[in-house]
Chain A
């Protein structure tokens, strides 16, 4: 299904859509207040952007430096070319450790690789330990937002899910009560897992360490109780030096939720005695994206989600309308690089308002890349493009196309046609909007009479 169809579906429930819009606007507003309390905010964005430019220009050497230093710290380093490779590496480690149940903290990369269904198919129980992720996992859904995975659900929905899955009291929507039930449920899973999987927010080339940011402490809880820690990291998550965390940790949480820093910022450098750390460096299309000059900057993303919270489309259409692992504006410039056919409506799911670019903490020119993807899509998919053009021509903007000839005819026609034709099903513009009142003469006509 295309984005417009999915968006229309979401808007069928106006109260919920309005609530979704207001909830995410609230997060965006918190972000605004928080960033405005940092006088050097725009300088931080510049710095973060420049560091990421440097990373992308030297990605190979930073990755090798990271590998050398991580190995020296007794971390096992694996390389995965794609999602399948990543998943096989994970399963291989689990088989070697004879592990049948794992806990996993939030990792959008493992969503991208569809790790959960793969492991479940191979007889491994996967428990997502981020509260929002656990909730969507109960529903067999994917996260609808990369930072707030269950933002599409209301308290009432969660109460019902917990009643069914965790046997909480029916109708009890008290957040403290529900959270407590989740804690008890997850505690048991934490205690029984021999292997814990986490994502990675930043890998530091200089030291071979990596950093995981959470608000719930669930990554730490999992890792500290397990014998083996597997960390999945996209290759673009590398930063050159530890001191650069002083930039990125300041912009990440403020951009994401308006917090000054995430509640837990955990540095992993080497395994405790008797334990193991494995890190899997995953490409899965990133090198290809790096090779596209107009789109490579999308790899600067630190997955804060600010572009989703600010996007007037995302807020009113929900994360699932994008049908891609990373939804919202950043997803709309990443996903066409992975599957142009499947995601061809996403770059058009935007008014090019540019708000995403202005909130982005690493200054990705998101709306410019949306524009550029449109140019690529109309070249690659003439049929698809034609349908857009057709719809377009059916709107009143047929006028500019054949301006001089059709302009006066169009004005004439619009004046005499009955509304039933002007606002017929063909005219998408007129379904819920009136056309402007048609003037007797164009400006050009007026000018001829009045100025020359």
Chain B
């Protein structure tokens, strides 16, 4: 490994289009932490929306493209647990690129796991005087194990919470159901609209009744869904990716 590893910044397509600030915060945060980061301009979508809708077989070209774009980086980092999980577990196997694909699976990381497990950052110093509620995205949590699952008999941990633990003034809000799904679920958000909305409302209530000022998380898809419901119902909760909080707070 070279002394300063070269990181390929993987920005999910909808984050690129709708949440450029999250991508900017991710880039700036990594740079502030001394990383050499490049955003490869050729990147598109990882293929997850198609695969989860039942069309994994139609994502071969997308997957090939993804491997070509990112294969030469030392690490690939994304501010999304869901997209990283897709690349690792659901992208179809590509004939003739077995080695590149397998290598890629070992060097792609969601942002908080990259900071904690690879950069070995215990916590970040800075200030963020707000009450923050954390929404654990299911794919980040039960897929990548970014935080412990309430279902399992294991010692509690949460990589995002660990990174925020030393931020001055930050109050971490404890929820009644700390890892219940928000009801986004990709296609589910539209094919099972009624359920999706109810699940989102229930999640928002949990944060509201415990006094969260800002709802944060590691996947903008969940947050886009929750924020959309909140706005429609004139709920004044604020929404931020944890990269935005860390980048804003870091001293």
Contacts and interface: CB of A to CB of B under 8 A. Distances in A.
Contact of A388 (B177, B187, B227): B187
A377 B51 CA distance: 12
Contacts of A389: 53, 55
A355 to B, nearest CB: 6
B41 interface: yes
B99 interface: no
B138 A354 contact: yes
B225 A433 contact: yes
A21 B177 CA distance: 12
Q: Is chain A's binding surface mostly helix, strand, loop or mixed?
A: helix
A395 B188 contact: no
Interface residues of B, number: 67
A246 interface: no
Given A428-B193, A432-B197, 18 more contacts: A42-B154, A312-B180, A348-B192, A351-B184, A354-B139, A388-B53, A388-B187, A392-B190, A395-B190, A401-B49, A403-B44, A407-B16, A429-B228, A432-B229, A434-B227, A434-B229, A434-B231, A436-B228
A378 B54 contact: yes
Contact of B20 (A379, A394, A442): A442
A2 to B, nearest CB: 9
Contacts of B49: 392, 397, 400-401
Given A348-B187, A358-B149, A428-B193, A446 B24 contact: yes
A438 B189 contact: no
Interface stretch (B7-15, B108-116, B124-132): B7-15
B102 interface: no
B232 A443 contact: no
A36 B154 CA distance: 8
Interface stretch (A3-11, A195-203, A262-270, A277-285): A3-11
Contact of A354 (B15, B143, B153, B193): B143
Contact of A353 (B21, B45, B138, B192): B138
A351 B17 contact: no
Nearest to A444: B16
26 contacts: A7-B195, A8-B193, A8-B194, A21-B202, A25-B177, A32-B151, A42-B152, A317-B195, A348-B192, A349-B195, A350-B185, A351-B184, A351-B199, A353-B185, A355-B149, A391-B190, A397-B14, A401-B49, A429-B228, A432-B197, A436-B18, A436-B227, A439-B20, A442-B16, A443-B39, A444-B39
